[in-house]
Amino acid sequence: MTASTIGMSAFEIATLVRSKQVSAAEVTHEHLALVKARDGDLNSFLQISEEAALASAKAVDEMIAKGEDPGALAGVPIALKDNLVTRGISTTCASQILKAWKPPYDATVILKARAAGAVALGKTNLDEFAMGSSTENSSFGPTRNPYDLGRVPGGSSGGSAAAVAAKFAPIALGSDTGGSIRQPAALCGIVGVKPTYGLVSRYGLIAFASSLDQIGPFARNVKDAALLLQVIAGHDRMDSTSLGGPVPDLLSDIENGVEGLRIGVIEELIDGVSPMVGTALDSAANSLSAQGAQVEHLSVPAVKYGLSAYYLIAPAEASSNLARYDGVRYGLRVEGQDMNETYVASRTKGFGPEVKRRIMLGTFALSSGYYDAYYGRAQRVRTMIIDSFRKAYESFDVLLSPTSPTTAFELGAKAADPLSMYLSDVCTIPTNLAGHPAISVPYGEGENEMPIGVQILAPALGEANMFKVARALERGAPLIAKKLFWE
C-alpha cells in the first residue's frame, strides 16, 4: 500500500480498491490496526470481528482479480450499531439481558452492505436498547467523544458516530427513533441521516419503538452518506412496513445547487438553543440564501408538542416490544421459585435503569383507565404534527433547524436528570413522529470548540432535495479546527 487510506472517503477507497491501487485486505488491516491502537480510550466498539472482516476483504479482492465488480462500497470498512442482528456474532443492544445472544440471521441492511462490497469491522456501542442521548446508558461503559474524551458523543448511536468521527471507518450504520443518528452526528461533527420511514428495511433491527425506528447512515461527508443510503434502501418483503417502488437516485443531482429552492427556518426549534448554535443556524441560512435559495422563517406550531407526545408513544411501544425478554426463549435467565419469579429476576438483572424507567412509563400510559388520557392523546398530537408539516411543505421544499440545542456536554452532566437529557432531542423528535427524512450536517464549532450540526428536513421521500441542500450547505460550512483525541 503506497499511501494511507485512513481518513479517505468511501468513494475514494472504493475507487482505489476497484482499480487495484490498494487491496481491500490492506484497507481492512489498516483500519483494524487503528481501532486496536486507539479505541481503548474511546470505547466506540463493543466487539471487533477481525476474522470475518478479513474474510470479507479477501472475497472482494478475489472478485476484482476475476474482473468482477464487487459493488459500490468495494472494500470500504463499515461499523455496525449493535442493535442490528449479525449471524453468529453477538448482538447485545448494549444490555446484559442479551449479552451472550448470537443471532441465526443477518439484518437486511447488513446483507445489502455486504453485497455492495462493504467490510464490517465490528459492532458499536449504544445506549441500552437505543434508549438515551449520550451513550452513557450502555451496560458496557460509555463511549467518549473523539474531540474531547471528557464529553459525550451523543446517543443512542454514539458508538457508530464516534467511530466514524475518529476515522476508524469512513461509514457506519445506526438507528434513529427520536434523533439517535442525527444528534450524535451533530455532537461528533459528521453527517447523519434519518431516512423516510419505510425506505430502509427494519428486518433485523431489534425494536425499540416500531412506528418510529429507522436505520440510516453515518459518514464524514454528504456524498458518502447518500451512497450508503442508496445501497441499503429499497423494498424488503421481510418488513411489512417497507415501502415499494424503485430506490431513489440520490447522487445524480447532488451537486446541482439550491438555486430557486424554497427553504424555511422553523421558528419553534430555535427557542432555547445555545447562542452559538443559533448563530451557526443563521450563518447556514445566509449561506444557502447566497447560493440562490429563497430562505424565510416560518412557524410549524405543533412541533413544540413533539417531546411530550414522543415520551408517551415511544415508551408505550418499548413496553410492548421488550416484553419478549422474559428469560425463557433467549437471553439472560435468572431462576426463581416459579415462572413469575424467573420473569421478574431475569428482567430486574438484565435491564438497566433507563430501560426500566421507559418500560414503566410506557406500561402506565397503556394501562386501563389511562390509555385515552395519555397514549391516545399523544397519538392525536402526532397527527397534528404531521398536519403542521404537510402545510409547511406546501410553501417550502425543505426546512432548516438546529440538530441539537447544544454542543456535546460533559460525561455525567445530565445522567441524574432524565428530563434534561430528553431535551437533547427536542429538535429531532418531530421528524420521527411525522415519518419524514432529515439529515444533520456539521457546521463549524460552538461552545468549548465542539462541533455544531445543522438539520435539514424534507417531506416523505424528499431525500433527493434534502441531499442537494445538504451538499450545498457542506460546501459553505466552516471547518472544524479542533483535533481528534489521538491527533
pLDDT computed for residue 7 by the predictor: 97
Mean pLDDT confidence for 423-441:
97
pTM beyond cutoff 0.85: yes
180 catalytic residue (yes or no): yes
Catalytic residue among 56, 138, 139, 180: 180
User: Which strand ranges, in their side-by-side order, compose the sheet holding 398-402?
Assistant: 45-48, 119-124, 77-81, 171-175, 215-219, 191-194, 438-445, 451-457, 398-402, 262-266, 294-298
pLDDT computed for residue 3 by the predictor: 80
Query: What is the domain-level CATH number for residue 132?
Result: 3.90.1300.10
pLDDT computed for residue 458 by the predictor: 98
Residue 316: inside a domain: no
User: Cell for 456?
Assistant: 435539514
Alpha carbon distances (Å) from 19 to 41, 59, 69, 151: 35, 16, 10, 40
By mean pLDDT, which of 38-47, 114-123, 199-208, 319-328 is the weakest?
A: 319-328
Other beta carbons within 10 angstroms of residue 348's beta carbon come to: 10
User: Cell for 116?
Assistant: 455492495
Structure confidence by residue, pLDDT tens digits, 289-342? 999 999 999 999 999 999 999 999 999 999 999 999 988 878 889 888 888 888
pLDDT band at 447 (very low <50, low <70, confident <90, very high): confident
Residue 421: inside a domain: yes
66 CB contacts (<8 Å, ≥6 apart)? Answer: none
* Phi, psi (rounded to 5 degrees) for 139: -75, 0
User: Percent of the chain having pLDDT more than 90?
Assistant: 90
Domain that holds residue 199: 10-307+376-475
Residue 227: inside a domain: yes
Other beta carbons within 10 angstroms of residue 308's beta carbon come to: 14
Residue 175: inside a domain: yes
pLDDT computed for residue 2 by the predictor: 62
Catalytic residue among 23, 81, 133, 440: 81
If you average pLDDT over every residue of the chain, what do you get? Answer: 96
96 CB contacts (<8 Å, ≥6 apart)? Answer: 139, 332, 349, 350, 351, 352
- Asked whether 297 and 417 are in contact (CB, 8 A), the reply is no
Structure confidence by residue, pLDDT tens digits, 26-78? 999 999 999 999 999 999 999 999 999 999 999 999 999 999 999 999 999 99
- Asked whether 311 and 426 are in contact (CB, 8 A), the reply is no
Structure confidence by residue, pLDDT tens digits, 459-486? 999 999 999 999 999 999 998 999 999 9
Mean pLDDT confidence for 185-213:
98
44 catalytic residue (yes or no): no
Residue 123: inside a domain: yes
The number of helices, as runs of H, and strands, as runs of E, in the chain is 15, 11
- Asked whether 196 and 461 are in contact (CB, 8 A), the reply is yes
User: Percent of the chain having pLDDT more than 70?
Assistant: 100
Q: How many CA atoms lie within 13 A of 176 on its CB side?
A: 34
pLDDT computed for residue 257 by the predictor: 96
By DSSP bridging, strand 451-457 and strand 438-445 are antiparallel
4 catalytic residue (yes or no): no
Helix/strand/coil for 21: coil
Distance separating alpha carbons of residues 48 and 450, to the nearest angstrom: 28
Helix/strand/coil for 435: coil
Helix/strand/coil for 86: strand
Among 293, 274, 252, residue whose Cα is nearest residue 476: 293
Residue 322: inside a domain: no
**pLDDT above 80 (res 129):** yes
Residue 224: inside a domain: yes
pLDDT computed for residue 1 by the predictor: 59
Distance separating alpha carbons of residues 416 and 420, to the nearest angstrom: 9
Alpha carbon distances (Å) from 464 to 170, 380, 398, 438: 22, 30, 11, 11
Cα dihedral 93→98→104→109 (10° resolution): 0
The structural domain count of the chain equals 1
Counting Cβ atoms within 10 Å, is residue 204 exposed (0-12), middle (13-18) or buried (19+)? Answer: buried
Residue 353: inside a domain: no
Catalytic residue among 56, 156, 201, 242: 156
